[in-house]
Amino acid sequence: MSKGPFIIKDIKALSPGQQVWGKFLILEKMHKKTKDGKDMHNLTIGDTSGDLNVVVWDNCSIAGAAEVGQVIGLLGDVGVFANRVQITAKRIKTLEEDPLPYLRVAAGLDELKQSFEEILALVEDASMQKLLARILTPEKKEKFYQTPAAKKIHHNYAGGLLQHTVTVARMCIQVCQMYKDLNCDLLITGAVLHDVGKMDEYSIKVAPEYTVAGRLIGHIVMGSELITGTVAQIRAEGEDFSEELEWMLKHMILSHHGSLEFGSPVKPLFPEAMVLHIMDDLDARMFIYFNKINEDEGEDPFFTPYDSFFAQNFFKYRYPADKQED
C-alpha cells in the first residue's frame, strides 16, 4: 500500500522528495510560457513561517479561481530548483477561508512593541519627545506595528518595520555607550524615525506592495516631509523647535542609505548620521545573509550558488559552537 501525502502545516518543514498536502495563502501569481510554448504559472504561497515557489503546469487539476489573496488546498511534489525548495502542483482547490491567519508576522510582536516603548522612553530632550509623540500617536503606532520594512529584500512581512527599527535603535544605543561624544537622544530619535515614511510607502494586504505615493516619492523623502510638517505644527502652536535640530533629523533620514547610488540624496555628514547609516545597513545585511544561508538546499556544504542580485556567493558552513575555543 502506498503512503498518502504528508500533511504539512509549516512551509519550513518541507523536504525534497515528499508528496505533500497543505493549506496556504497565494501571495503572488505569474503566468509564463516555456521556450517550447507550454503554459505555466508560478505561484508564491505562504503561511506564518515563510513562503516558497509553486510551479503549476497545465495538467494540474484546479478547482476555483486560485487568485492572489485566496487560501488554497494544495497537493504537490516537493523538489529543488536553483537550490531552493519548490512544489510542483498536482491539485489545487480554492478554499473559503480568512487569509489573515496565514499572513507572516514578525516573531515576538508583543515583546517588540514593549521594547519599542522602552526605547522611546529613553529620549530626554523635550523637543524630540514632542516630535516623537506627534508622529507616533496611538493610531499611527498601530499602523507602524503592521508595516513591512521592505517589499522583498529584508523584514518583508507585517511587523518587519518594527522589528528592524527596534534592532537598529538597540545597536545605536550600544554605540552611544562606546562613543560618549555622540548625542544619544538625537541618535535614538533618528533611529526610531529613519524608516517612518514606510508607513505610507507600503501597503500590505497579502504581501507587501508599494503605494502610488511610495513608488513616486519613496520613504526617504516621505519621512523627511513628515518631519517638516510635524515641526511646522509644533511651531504653529507657539512651541519652540530648533531649526538646527530639524535640519539634523531630516538629514539623518535623507542620508541613512549612505549615498545617491542606494537612494540617499546626501551622504551622512555628522557622527550620529553615520552611525545610523551603518546600523541600518548592518541589520538589513544580517537578515539577508542568514536567509540566504539558511534557505539554501544545495549539495555544496560550503557555498550557496552565485547570487546575481548581490553579485556574490554566500559561505554557508557554520563552525560548530561546541568546538570553538576561547
Q: Give the tens place of pLDDT for each residue, 207-224.
A: 667 788 888 988 999 999
pLDDT at 299: 77
Q: What is the mean pLDDT of residues 190-216?
A: 83
Provide DSSP, 269-301: -SHHHHHHHHHHHHHHHHHHHHHHHHH---S-S
Beta-strand ranges (E) seen in the chain are: 6-7, 19-33, 39-47, 50-57, 61-63, 71-81, 84-95, 202-204, 208-210
Check pLDDT > 80 for residue 12: no
Locate CATH 2.40.50.140 in the chain.
6-101
Separation CA 304–CA 82 (nearest Å): 10
What spatial distance separates the first Cα and last Cα of the chain, rounded to whole Å?
A: 55
Check pLDDT > 50 for residue 2: no
Superfamily of segment(s) 6-101 = Nucleic acid-binding proteins (2.40.50.140)
pTM of the model: 0.79
Locate CATH 1.10.3210 in the chain.
105-288
Separation CA 69–CA 89 (nearest Å): 18
Please name the residues in contact with 217: beta carbons below 8 A apart, sequence gap of 6 or more.
201
Q: What is the mean pLDDT of residues 283-298?
A: 85
Q: Is 48 helix (H, G, I), strand (E, B) or coil?
A: coil
Residues of the chain above pLDDT 90, percent: 44
Helices and strands counted in the chain (H then E): 10, 9
Q: What is the mean pLDDT of residues 225-239?
A: 95
Please name the residues in contact with 54: beta carbons below 8 A apart, sequence gap of 6 or more.
42, 43, 44, 45, 74, 76, 86, 87, 88, 89
Q: What is the mean pLDDT of residues 232-255?
A: 96
* pLDDT band, very low/low/confident/very high, at 4 (cuts 50, 70, 90): low
Assigned CATH topology for domain 105-288:
Hypothetical protein af1432 (1.10.3210)
Check pLDDT > 80 for residue 82: no
Separation CA 111–CA 95 (nearest Å): 33
Q: Is 98 helix (H, G, I), strand (E, B) or coil?
A: coil
Q: What are phi and psi of 222, to 5 degrees?
A: -60, -40
Q: Which of 24, 25, 78 is nearest to 55 (CA)?
A: 78
Check pLDDT > 50 for residue 68: yes
Residue found by looking up cell 512551509 in the block: 11
Residue 5 is given by DSSP the state P
* pLDDT band, very low/low/confident/very high, at 59 (cuts 50, 70, 90): confident
pLDDT digits (tens, 9 = 90+) for 89-129: 999 999 988 887 777 788 888 999 999 999 999 999 999 99
